[in-house]
């Protein structure tokens, strides 16, 4: 039985491999993330096929960032595929434009706060203003919600803090950087287990490599679902 709190990231090279993985996972997974890395490998076609032919929910992880008019037009084009989630950068002008582009559709606009692969040294190198990473995430989340974001993407370590924000009432928190107990962190620097992330207020968790690189991906999903199973659905 699937649980749509679990989103499996199909960060494989092309749509054929993505479809093969989805077929291997079968009914155990109901929600997939398709990202920028597969855009030139048929990612949009795969998203449409999984949605329309297989009844899956789809999170398109594009992390759009541009001037307002361009973002609005891009989101309007993507919204025609009737997908479920789309990421944009959390800057208020980007969020507002994305919401305009998604008007009339069920597409949820999720704002990126601070990428879960970044730490303070990375932010310094990018000339992002000084301050604790968690404080920056909270500030960006609040501003994104005020601009109309349906939810935010944030590290599991910030989920509880964001959930406590008044602005977060009724909004989604989606957490990448989730690693099952015993799994390697990879390039993620701010991680937590699935149970911890859900317990701290995440509505959905995103898991990629621990599933698609597993010797038995379906067993890996079953283990994650078991770890989540004792927790109540939000």
**Residues that are catalytic:** 63
Cα within 13 Å of Cα(147), Cβ side? 27
What are φ and ψ of residue 188, in 5° steps?
A: -85, 135
8 A C-beta contact, residue 152 and residue 141 = yes
> Taking the C-alpha atoms of 109, 207, 37 and 102 in order, what is their torsion angle to the nearest 10 degrees?
-10
Q: Find, among 178, 151, 156, 179, the residue nearest to 167 by Cα.
A: 151
Residues 6+ positions from 12 with CB-CB distance below 8 Å:
18, 21, 38, 212
> Distance between CA 20 and CA 26 in Å, rounded?
10
**Rg for the chain, CA atoms, rounded:** 17
Q: Which two tokens stand for residue 198?
A: 């859900």
């Amino acid at each position: 039985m699937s649980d749509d709190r679990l989103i499996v990231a199909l960060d494989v090279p092309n749509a054929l491999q993505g479809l093969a993985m989805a077929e291997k996972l079968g009914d155990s997974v109901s929600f997939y993330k398709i990202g920028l890395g597969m855009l030139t490998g048929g990612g949009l076609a795969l998203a449409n096929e999984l949605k329309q032919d297989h009844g899956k929910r789809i999170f398109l992880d594009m992390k759009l960032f541009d001037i307002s008019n361009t973002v609005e037009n891009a989101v309007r084009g993507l919204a025609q595929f009737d997908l479920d989630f789309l990421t944009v950068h959390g800057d208020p002008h980007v969020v507002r434009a994305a919401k305009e582009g998604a008007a009339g559709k069920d597409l949820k606009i999720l704002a990126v706060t601070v990428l879960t692969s970044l730490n303070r040294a990375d932010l310094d190198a990018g000339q992002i203003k000084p301050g604790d990473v968690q404080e920056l995430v909270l500030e960006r989340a609040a501003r994104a919600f005020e601009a109309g974001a349906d939810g935010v993407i944030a590290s599991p370590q910030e989920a509880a803090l964001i959930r406590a924000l008044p602005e977060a009432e009724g909004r989604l928190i989606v957490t990448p950087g989730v690693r099952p107990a015993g799994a390697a962190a990879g390039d993620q620097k701010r991680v937590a287990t699935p149970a911890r992330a859900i317990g701290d207020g995440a509505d959905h968790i995103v898991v990629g490599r621990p599933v698609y690189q597993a010797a038995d991906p379906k067993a890996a999903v079953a283990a994650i679902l078991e770890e989540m199973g004792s927790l109540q659905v939000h």
